[in-house]
């Protein structure tokens, strides 16, 4: 989901859970981890498995639902982040709830994206707007806010295209490529034919 519409719009982007776990493992240093030193990871995993067995059927369904939501939210935000490229001004941030198993699950997220026009460069503004639109539509299920950010970027792109067209017409008029204004539509083509 994209955040509020502003010069720096927020686009919620989800991160793949597997990628997060891989990054966590890569950053993990067993030599300095107190749980590793005390054999605590295995005990913590065993305790979590035991806690899962002690959950009611309803609590297990809630945990499964929360885990599914967490994966979807992270994937959604990661799609935004990947498509935004250099225009992302932050990584994904998430809102969490704690499940009946005591674990935290992401239930919402956002990524901030710089959605301001490039001053004095309508061509760069058009490219930037196209990237923002692609980032807003990147997830399989864009939210209302995602679509709103895409609409604002489309307006920014239209303004930049109008400015580019105006500049092009001024250049052509100064170079003598356009007929005088008293000629009607189609006259210019007839003169060239």
Q: Which residue has the higher pLDDT, 41 or 11?
A: 41
Q: How many residues does the chain have?
A: 193
**Would 27 be classed as within a structural domain?**
no
> Given this model, what pLDDT does residue 69 score?
96
Among 135, 111, 134, residue whose Cα is nearest residue 3: 111
- Number of structural domains in the chain: 1
% pLDDT > 90, the chain: 56
24-28, 108-112, 182-186: range with highest mean pLDDT: 108-112
Where do the DSSP E strands lie in 34-131? 93-98, 104-110, 112-114
How is residue 108 written in tokens?
């919402």
Q: How many angstroms separate the CA atoms of 159 and 144, rounded? A: 23
> Given this model, what pLDDT does residue 47 score?
55
User: By the 8 A CB rule, do 88 and 103 touch?
Assistant: no
How is residue 192 written in tokens?
């060239």
Location of structure tokens 């945990």:
63
Task: Show the domain range for 107.
Answer: 8-16+60-177
Type and span of the H or E element at 9: strand 8-10
Is residue 42 predicted with pLDDT exceeding 50? yes
User: By the 8 A CB rule, do 132 and 153 touch?
Assistant: yes
For 101-115, 126-140, 161-175, which range has the lowest pLDDT when averaged over its residues? 161-175
Burial of 84 (C-beta count, 10 Å sphere; 0-12/13-18/19+) = buried
What are the tens digits of pLDDT across the range 4-38?
444 444 444 333 333 444 444 445 566 566 655 55
Interval 44-56 mean pLDDT:
63
Is residue 74 predicted with pLDDT exceeding 60? yes
Is residue 78 predicted with pLDDT exceeding 70? yes
What are the tens digits of pLDDT across the range 164-178?
999 888 877 666 655
**Would 141 be classed as within a structural domain?**
yes
Is residue 67 predicted with pLDDT exceeding 70? yes
User: By the 8 A CB rule, do 127 and 133 touch?
Assistant: no
**Would 28 be classed as within a structural domain?**
no
How is residue 51 written in tokens?
């806690």
DSSP annotation of 190: H
Q: How many angstroms separate the CA atoms of 90 and 170, rounded? A: 39
**Would 158 be classed as within a structural domain?**
yes
């Amino acid at each position: 989901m994209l955040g509020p519409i502003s010069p720096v719009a927020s686009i919620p982007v989800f991160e793949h859970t597997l990628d997060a776990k891989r990054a966590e493992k890569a950053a993990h240093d067993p030599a300095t981890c107190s749980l590793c030193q005390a054999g605590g990871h295995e005990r913590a995993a065993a305790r979590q498995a035991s806690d899962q067995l002690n959950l009611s059927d309803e609590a297990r369904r809630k945990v499964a639902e929360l885990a599914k939501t967490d994966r979807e939210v992270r994937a959604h935000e990661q799609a935004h982040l990947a498509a935004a490229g250099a225009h992302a001004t932050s990584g994904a941030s998430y809102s969490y709830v704690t499940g009946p198993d005591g674990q935290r699950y992401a239930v919402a997220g956002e990524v901030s994206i710089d959605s301001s026009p490039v001053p004095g460069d309508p061509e760069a503004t058009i490219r930037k707007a196209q990237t923002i639109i692609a980032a807003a539509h990147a997830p399989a299920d864009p939210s209302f806010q995602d679509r709103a950010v895409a609409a604002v970027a489309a307006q920014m792109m239209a303004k930049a295209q109008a400015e580019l067209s105006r500049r092009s017409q001024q250049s052509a008029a100064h170079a003598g490529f356009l007929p005088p204004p008293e000629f009607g539509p189609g006259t210019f083509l007839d003169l060239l034919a």
